[in-house]
Amino acid sequence: MTTRWTRKDLLGLRELSADEINFILDTADAFKQVGTREIKKVPSLRGKTLVNFFVEPSTRTRTSFELAALRLSADVINISATTSSLTKGETLKDTARNLEALHADIFVLRHGSAGAPQFLANRLKASVINAGDGAHEHPTQALLDLYTIREKRRQIAGLHVAIVGDILFSRVARSNIFGLLKLGARVTLVGPSTLVPREFEKLGVEISHKIDEVLPKADVVNLLRIQHERQRREYFPGIGEYIRFFGLTKERAKLLKADCLIMHPGPINRGVEIDSEVADGLHSVILNQVTNGLAVRMAVLYLCGGISA
Ligand code: CP
């Protein structure tokens, strides 16, 4: 392998090359091996301090980054919006600079505003890892999705991936689109026209508003939650209507290819974008995604943490 990692930050997949993405996935392979050993810890980040800074709620990403850092022997500090001095009016930059003064080496940031990780990365010597910024990007989610597809189907090039649901407000969709296209997949976005506007075609994807036409042709179906917290108006008549036209119901799942992978970044709204029988069924790799997130995040922390000053 000739690729060398030179970035202190991971802010999105838009700016990464296919070689860099593959390098992260190959590094994650090595860390997945570490997870099978009796002693699951390596000393790679011993002496480094990671700040897990979550200004928006999270279950999977926050715990996965914390566990990844602990497995790499880093010290970890968890900060949430409600327990930090952000509630007293301190700016994000001041909070981060104060933590850097305590010699934090890596910041993992989830924030409701697109561009917040970039803002910090430009001002700090420490590494900044984007754990989801507004409706912009969620790079480690897309990397773990790519890793899971590659693990199950050996290669990503040539696969047809359908991403279904609330694309307009989804950082997961954006990062997946960039990563999948760079690695040679065909991508179709599916959902109501209000949440899947034609503008996305400029990125190089196809658009469909008819899920029943796409499901029989897809190798992977990645379902997304409706992100009510980001929507400022109604984008479809109601949940019942959404399920009728776009929900992956038990009946609709009969249209899937026998070897189709069903993915979901979580949290799942069972009975809305996906029926329980499908989420827990034979096609589902949803919990494999969570498991793989640990190895992928170990790889990202190892690579970026090795560059930070
Ligand atoms: N997929 C994901 O980002 O989940 P959390 O919001 O629980 O971190």
Q: How far is the CA of 61 from the centre of ligand 1 (A)?
A: 5
Q: How far is the CA of 159 from the centre of ligand 1 (A)?
A: 25
Q: Identify which of 52, 56, 60, 143 to mutate to test ligand 1's pocket (most ligand atoms within 8 A of the CB).
A: 60
Q: What does the pLDDT profile of the chain (309 residues) look like in tens digits? A: 556 899 999 999 999 999 999 999 999 999 999 999 999 999 999 999 999 999 999 999 999 999 999 999 999 999 998 888 888 999 989 988 898 899 999 999 999 999 999 999 999 999 999 999 999 999 999 999 999 999 999 999 999 999 999 999 999 999 999 999 999 999 999 999 999 999 999 999 999 999 999 999 999 999 999 876 766 667 776 889 999 999 999 999 999 999 999 999 999 999 999 999 999 999 999 999 999 999 999 999 999 998 765
Contact 198, 207 (CB under 8 A): yes
CA distance to 14, 156, 165, 197, per residue, from 67 (Å): 26, 28, 30, 38
Residue whose C-alpha is closest to residue 163's, from 132, 208, 119, 133 = 208
pLDDT of residue 82: 85
pLDDT of residue 84: 85
| Cα–Cα dist 175/99, whole Å | 28
Task: Look at ligand 1, atom 3, and give the residue with the nearest C-alpha.
Answer: 61
pLDDT of residue 220: 98
Q: How far is CA 168 from the centre of its chain?
A: 16
pLDDT of residue 99: 85
ω into residue 267 within 30 of 0, thus cis?
A: yes
Contact 214, 181 (CB under 8 A): no
Question: In which residue are the tokens 């990464």 written?
Answer: 16
Task: Look at ligand 1, atom 6, and give the residue with the nearest C-alpha.
Answer: 58
pLDDT of residue 115: 96
pLDDT of residue 307: 77
Contact 46, 212 (CB under 8 A): no
- pTM (2 decimals)? 0.95
